[in-house]
Chain A
Amino acid sequence: MVLECKMFGKRLKNPVILASGILGMTKASLERCCEDGCGGVTAKSLTPEARKGHDGPNIVETGCGLLNAMGYPNPGIEKGLEEFGSWKRPEALIISIVGKDTDEFTMLAEKVESAKKTLGATALEAAISCPHTPGYGVMAGQGTPENVDKITRAIKSACSLPLIIKLSPSLPGEVKQALAAEKAGADAINMGNSLGPGMKIDLQRKKPVLGFGMGGLSGPAIKPIAIRCVYDIYAAVDIPIIGTGGINCGEDAIEMMMAGASFVSVGTAAYYRGPSVFGEIAKEMDAWMKDNRISSIGKIVGAANE
């Protein structure tokens, strides 16, 4: 009960959200994450056409987190909306889109809008923050206040679902980007993505391990950066924030919420602790709340800022 919260009017059992790109390739997999304890789930990011993603290896351990370069494998917007649609569960479904430019984002948002009635989604997330896919996010220079403004406006004019803009911790000026998103009509900020790009070289092969050469760093190493970004953005904007980056346990999630996040999204922890991690984090948050006699999770949001 203490973890109950609302996302755009939908009551969630907890603020733990499955991060995009993790496990969410199929609807059945998203449903499993709900059964494993998520308050909401984000589907794999969809592009206009199907993508196979980067060649492997797609993931490598670094000792301080995971480095990954998936390269947005997905079935394309039409098949993806069919796959994830008709969502009827009490947990929130967030549809994620990634486009190369405002035209692509507009086209994707229009598709989501036309499927909206049967989709059952609570929100639409637009990621402009992937650090390792040519043509998208950081590699396409999407993370500037000007581009955030254009992309946000384009999506808002095409789709009536609440819009979450997902920013990168890899670029300076995240506060300016968040302000630009808010001003252009975004309904929430997702602060966080993998950090980078970074690289891991195999000593014996004398080559970068990842098939794409470089990838985004996730996990424990990036948490302090994500916390700081959320802290700064909370002080600047009035719309809710989803905090993403390095959340591995209940106390990490509480810390992120104290920095200013209303929700936390969890991804790499599924690697460290298995897919049951979502419910475990929620239980750990619940225990912390009870130990500290705080009756409602909402009360800790932004506590560090006050």
Chain B
Amino acid sequence: MVLQMNEMLSKRVKKVVKENYRVTTIEVEHALEDAVPGQFIMVWIPGAGEKPMSIGNRYPLTISVADVGPFSGALSKLKSGDMLSFRGPYGKPFIIPKGSKRILVIGGGYGVVPMYFLARTAKEEGIETVAVIGGRSIKDIIYEKQLFAVCREVFITTDDGSRGKKGNVMAEASSLIEGKGFDCVYCCGPERMMHAIATLCKEHGIACQVSVERYMKCGVGVCGSCSVDGRLCCIDGPVFSAEDALALSEFGKKHRDASGILKDY
């Protein structure tokens, strides 16, 4: 009966990299051996709370955090030698269908983090990856170098055209998807963007998986905070097939706050 799935671990921070004006990457002296791309950990900062964070790499365990509030602000301030406490990994991961030769990964903003982990894993398995990463402006593009190291090609888009093609990720992704050269398309980023990618893939009959983020408290399928149409993002997701995601009534439209109140995206 004794389960260890919820055990809290505390490990030393090995390296901290400032990716840009608000995103910080934290590497921990720990190998999260059983973590696979698309999964998350629950990170605890005593006094500041606990939040789910996407896993950017298994060894060293890596997360990237955008400083957008009190919790992420406290996390962004961690220095090499500090302790990071976490539990996990949790959630359904991205799945690369057997026999895949070529995949397309699309990341918007800091949605590129799990996409890097996926591309890196694909490379280890001899699968070729093409990446599209997008941000508002040149300063929002992160993980570019890392992706170049593991991908065949990396396309960049910015809303203001300060780097790569002007526009959102669709500016590059639509022609790539329409070209039908991929066994599966993976997407993580703002939900409207994932909705657009999932819809386009469905129209072209291409397999697609997206990562759906919802407010989470327990992370282990007990509290129900991350429920969407009865599916729990923490244990049934966060990765859903495009088909399943598009069938969710709230996908790309609404999400719930900490009190469970529905809000528009």
Residues of B within 8 A of A267 (CB): 222
Interface check A8, CB cutoff 8 A: no
Residue of A52, A73, A270 touching B221 (CB-CB under 8 A): A270
Q: Does A154 contact B (CB under 8 A)?
A: no
A23, B3: Cβ atoms closer than 8 Å: no
**Which stretch, A25-33, A117-125, A230-238, A296-304, touches the partner chain B?**
A25-33
Residue contact B44 to A57, C-beta cutoff 8 Å: yes
Size of interface on A: residues with Cβ below 8 Å to B? 50
CB-CB under 8 A for A29 and B227, given A59-B220, A75-B259, A76-B259: yes
Q: How far does the Cβ of B264 sit from chain A's closest Cβ, in whole Å?
A: 15
On whether the beta carbons of A274 and B235 are closer than 8 Å, the reply is yes
CB of B163 within 8 Å of the partner chain: no
Q: Which residues, 1 to 57 on B, are CB-close (under 8 Å) to A?
A: 1-8, 10, 42, 44, 46, 48-51
A238 to B222, CA, bound (A): 33
In the complex where A56-B51, A271-B222 touch, is A75 in contact with B261 (Cβ < 8 A)?
Answer: yes
Instruction: Name A146-202 residues within 8 Å CB distance of B.
Output: 202
How many residues in B have their beta carbons less than 8 Å from beta carbons of A?
A: 40
Query: By the criterion CB–CB under 8 Å, are B217 and A53 in contact?
Result: yes
Chain A residues near B48 (CB, 8 Å)?
A: 55
Question: Of A76, A83, A272, which is within 8 A of B1 by CB?
Answer: A272
One of B8, B217, B227, B261 near A60 (C-beta < 8 A): B8
Number of A-B contacts (CB under 8 A): 131
B221 pairs with A58, CB closer than 8 A: no
Contact A73–B217 (Cβ < 8 Å): yes
Majority DSSP secondary structure for residues of B touching A: loop
Chain B residue with the shortest CB-CB distance to A71 = B217
Chain A residues with CB under 8 Å of B6's CB are 59-61, 66
Note all chain A residues with C-beta closer than 8 A to B72.
none
A275–B225 contact, CB under 8 A? no
Q: Cβ of A23: which chain B residues have Cβ within 8 Å of it?
A: 221-224, 227, 232
Could you say which of A28, A51, A83 has the most chain B C-beta atoms within 10 Å of its C-beta?
A: A28
Are B83 and A56 interface neighbours, CB within 8 A? no
Q: Using known A-B contacts A55-B49, A75-B260, determine if residue A274 contacts B221 with beta carbons closer than 8 Å.
A: yes
Are A202 and B10 CB-contacts (below 8 A) given A56-B49, A74-B259, A75-B260? yes
Q: Check A275–B227 contact: CB distance below 8 A.
A: no
B124 at the interface (CB under 8 A from A): no
Contact, CB under 8 Å: A25 / B227: yes
Complex Cα–Cα for A248 and B3 (A): 14
Instruction: Across the interface, name the chain A residue whose C-beta is closest to B52.
Output: A56
Q: Are A205 and B260 in contact (CB under 8 A)?
A: no
Are A209's CB and B44's CB within 8 A? yes
B10 to chain A, nearest CB (A): 4
User: Residue on A with the closest CB to B11?
Assistant: A204
Q: Does B229 contact A (CB under 8 A)?
A: yes
Give the shortest distance, in Å, between B147 (CB) and chain A (any CB).
Answer: 31
Q: Other than the known A26-B256, A66-B222, what 5 A-B pairs have Cβ atoms closer than 8 Å?
A: A22-B224, A57-B50, A59-B219, A60-B6, A61-B6
